[in-house]
């Protein structure tokens, strides 16, 4: 990397952050630092006070640190910039990325709407929020600790890639909507993108282009086949990209989180998002997370996973406002089976009189009432399971008590690797629970599998 390229890169970073190019003194500080000069020498050359130069330097290092997500100072500026450049042009990445899909090498124009600065670089960002696909926020109880965790990861720890997983209906999407309401002003650009089975990578990329460019220009880019490099914008700007229903990227009838061939480009994009230095965050929401993120322990502190569990007891009571306290207490053991899943609780709340008609018979038999809409909800997820997972569920449903891996292996129904992988996959889908090495089926899942086989 040449001296001028390094200078240009620092200027780009400052421009992206403050809306202004390096002024003469800032440029001199960067030049001097790259050339190994002391603050004293820089001040002398510029005929100004050394402490003033130090102050300019520390503000610049602060900008670079924030933009690149790592500590930058006078002694490591040169090496960080070189590393940053290498990561941008990394051959490894280019090998992975199909030409024409994502590339990092073209010279770009400056993005629109760059904010102007104030003296200490704390300007409020220009907000370009594309949230037309984001659902509205309904009644929302609790989730304080999940919201705190996510805010810490995103705002303080500056995580780059976060997956939010959990069984259908548990409240992942609503949690993300609430989160965005609370943190949206920390981001210049936000995109909410809902995947479905007809989505394509090109379509997703077009949404990203449109986020950064006005409509007419994005059409021109698409038309001229001009190559687009989202990572550049994610590096220059603080962007939040939410992709909901991430499970649509993965194969049905296989273990959780395996990409369908036509979605491989998403894998490469997520890999870059996790590995390259940038100041943006991707939030991936769904029933399954990519297998490489779930199975390979990442040493990267910028990547996190949050598995969403049921609501707390106090919040669950809110779903049954018509019940007198005494009546509600009678219902509690039955409601408990629905594991604080707000979708299931909303369905069940409609059927309280019917549940009372079933009366104690249900409790005696340990039967759990599954209305059709709840079954339909489970059916969609069941259809995605691999044959092996279905076989394991059928085995587990026989066990009244939790069982461990050794006990399952003794039965010799399924070979050890297959059994292990199927259990892991079911755990990741939250179709299985594990406590102290013992596996057991959640009550609703157990009932669903039992009903299917009756």
Ligand X SMILES: Nc1ncnc2c1ncn2[C@@H]1O[C@H](COP(=O)(O)OP(=O)(O)OP(=O)(O)O)[C@@H](O)[C@H]1O
Cβ count within 10 A of residue 138: 10
Contact 393, 440 (CB under 8 A): no
Nearer to ligand X, 159 or 179 (CB): 179
* Residue 447 near Mg ion by CB under 5 A: no
Contact 314, 293 (CB under 8 A): no
With CB under 5 to 8 Å by kind, the binding choice for 235 among ligand X, Mg ion, none is none
Shortest separation between residue 284's beta carbon and ligand X, angstroms = 12
With CB under 5 to 8 Å by kind, the binding choice for 26 among ligand X, Mg ion, none is none
Contact 297, 176 (CB under 8 A): no
Between CA 258 and CA 292 the distance in angstroms is 9
Nearer to Mg ion, 117 or 307 (CB): 307
For the residues of 331-356, what is the DSSP string, one character each?
HHHHHHTTTT-HHHHHHHHTTHHHHH
With CB under 5 to 8 Å by kind, the binding choice for 169 among ligand X, Mg ion, none is ligand X
Which position's Cβ is nearest ligand X?
Answer: 171
With CB under 5 to 8 Å by kind, the binding choice for 155 among Mg ion, ligand X, none is none
Dihedrals phi, psi of 163, to nearest 5 degrees:
-110, 140
Shortest separation between residue 137's beta carbon and Mg ion, angstroms = 13
With CB under 5 to 8 Å by kind, the binding choice for 142 among Mg ion, ligand X, none is ligand X
Which range in 39-47, 75-83, 112-120, 171-179 contacts Mg ion by CB under 5 A? 171-179
Q: Three-state SS for 166?
A: coil
Shortest separation between residue 131's beta carbon and ligand X, angstroms = 16
Contact 168, 287 (CB under 8 A): yes
Q: What is the CA radius of gyration of the chain?
A: 27
> Which residues here bind ligand X, judged by CB under 6 A?
138-143, 166, 168-174, 287, 342-343, 346
* Residue 173 near Mg ion by CB under 5 A: yes
Q: Three-state SS for 383?
A: coil
Which range in 107-115, 167-175, 246-254, 400-408 contacts Mg ion by CB under 5 A? 167-175
Shortest separation between residue 135's beta carbon and ligand X, angstroms = 7
Kind and range of the H or E run holding 204: helix 201-212
Nearer to Mg ion, 173 or 447 (CB): 173
Between CA 108 and CA 176 the distance in angstroms is 32
Site size toward Mg ion (CB under 5 A) is 1
Shortest separation between residue 300's beta carbon and ligand X, angstroms = 26
Nearer to ligand X, 380 or 415 (CB): 380
Nearer to Mg ion, 69 or 169 (CB): 169
Which range in 3-11, 71-79, 169-177, 329-337 contacts Mg ion by CB under 5 A? 169-177
Nearer to Mg ion, 17 or 143 (CB): 143
With CB under 5 to 8 Å by kind, the binding choice for 166 among ligand X, Mg ion, none is ligand X
Give the single-character DSSP code of 310.
Answer: P
For the residues of 103-156, what is the DSSP string, one character each?
-S-S--PPPS-PPPP-TTS-PPPP-EEE-TTSPPP-S----HHHHHHHHIIIII
Which range in 170-178, 367-375, 384-392, 419-427 contacts Mg ion by CB under 5 A? 170-178
Closest CA to 69 of 300, 302, 303, 282: 302
With CB under 5 to 8 Å by kind, the binding choice for 346 among Mg ion, ligand X, none is ligand X
Q: In sequence order, what are the residues at sequence separation of 6 or more whose Cβ sits closer than 8 angstroms to the Cβ of residue 322?
A: 352
Contact 236, 125 (CB under 8 A): no
Nearer to ligand X, 293 or 308 (CB): 308
The tokens of 195 are what? Answer: 């995947």
Nearer to Mg ion, 382 or 420 (CB): 382
Shortest separation between residue 223's beta carbon and Mg ion, angstroms = 34
Nearer to ligand X, 97 or 248 (CB): 248
Shortest separation between residue 432's beta carbon and ligand X, angstroms = 17
Which position's Cβ is nearest Mg ion?
Answer: 173
Shortest separation between residue 139's beta carbon and ligand X, angstroms = 5
Cβ count within 10 A of residue 404: 12
Which range in 58-66, 111-119, 173-181, 377-385 contacts Mg ion by CB under 5 A? 173-181
**Exposed e or buried b per residue across 353-385, where buried means at least 16 C-beta atoms within 10 angstroms of its C-beta:** eebeeeeeebeeeeebbbeeebbebbeebbebb
Nearer to Mg ion, 342 or 442 (CB): 342
Give the single-character DSSP code of 184.
Answer: G
Interface contacts to Mg ion, rule CB under 5 A: 173
């Amino acid at each position: 990397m040449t001296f001028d390229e390094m200078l240009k890169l620092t200027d780009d970073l400052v421009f992206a952050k403050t809306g202004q190019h390096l002024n003469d003194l800032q440029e001199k500080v960067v030049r001097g630092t790259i050339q190994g000069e002391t603050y004293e020498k820089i001040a002398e050359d510029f005929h100004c006070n050394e402490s003033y130069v130090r102050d300019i330097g520390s503000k610049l290092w602060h900008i670079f640190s924030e933009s690149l997500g790592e500590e930058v100072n006078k002694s490591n500026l040169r090496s960080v910039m070189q590393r940053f450049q290498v990561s941008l042009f990394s051959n490894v990445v280019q090998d992975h990325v199909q030409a024409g899909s994502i590339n990092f090498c073209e010279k770009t124009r400056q993005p629109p709407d760059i904010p102007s600065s104030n003296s200490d670089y704390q300007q409020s960002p220009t907000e370009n929020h594309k949230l037309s696909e984001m659902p509205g926020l309904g009644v929302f109880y609790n989730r304080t600790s999940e919201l705190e965790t996510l805010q810490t990861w995103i705002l303080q720890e500056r995580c780059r890639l976060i997956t939010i997983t959990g069984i259908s209906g548990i409240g992942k999407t609503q949690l993300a909507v609430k989160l965005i309401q609370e943190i949206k002003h920390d981001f210049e650009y936000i995109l909410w993108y809902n995947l479905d089975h007809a989505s394509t990578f090109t379509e997703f990329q077009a949404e990203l282009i449109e986020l950064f460019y006005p409509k007419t220009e994005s059409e021109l880019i698409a038309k001229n086949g001009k190559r687009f490099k989202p990572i550049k914008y994610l590096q220059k700007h603080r962007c939040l990209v939410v992709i909901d229903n991430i499970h649509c990227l993965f194969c049905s009838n296989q273990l959780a989180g395996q990409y369908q061939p036509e979605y491989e480009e998403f894998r490469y994009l997520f890999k870059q998002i996790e590995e390259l230095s940038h100041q943006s965050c991707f939030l991936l929401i769904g029933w399954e997370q990519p297998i490489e993120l779930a199975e390979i322990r990442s040493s990267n502190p910028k990547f996190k996973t949050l598995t969403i569990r049921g609501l707390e007891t106090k919040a669950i009571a809110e779903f049954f406002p018509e019940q007198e306290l005494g009546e509600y207490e009678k219902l509690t053991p039955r409601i408990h089976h629905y594991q604080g899943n707000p979708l299931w609780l909303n369905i069940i709340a409609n059927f309280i009189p019917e549940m009372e008609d079933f009366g104690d018979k249900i409790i005696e038999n340990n039967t759990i009432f599954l209305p059709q809409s709840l079954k339909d909800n489970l059916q969609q997820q069941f259809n995605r399971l691999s044959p092996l997972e279905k076989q394991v569920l059928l085995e587990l449903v026989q066990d009244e008590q939790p069982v461990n891996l050794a006990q399952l292996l003794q039965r010799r129904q399924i070979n050890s690797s297959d059994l292990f992988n199927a259990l892991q996959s079911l755990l990741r889908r939250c179709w299985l629970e594990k406590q102290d090495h013992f596996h057991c089926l959640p009550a609703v899942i157990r009932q669903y599998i039992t009903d299917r086989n009756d």
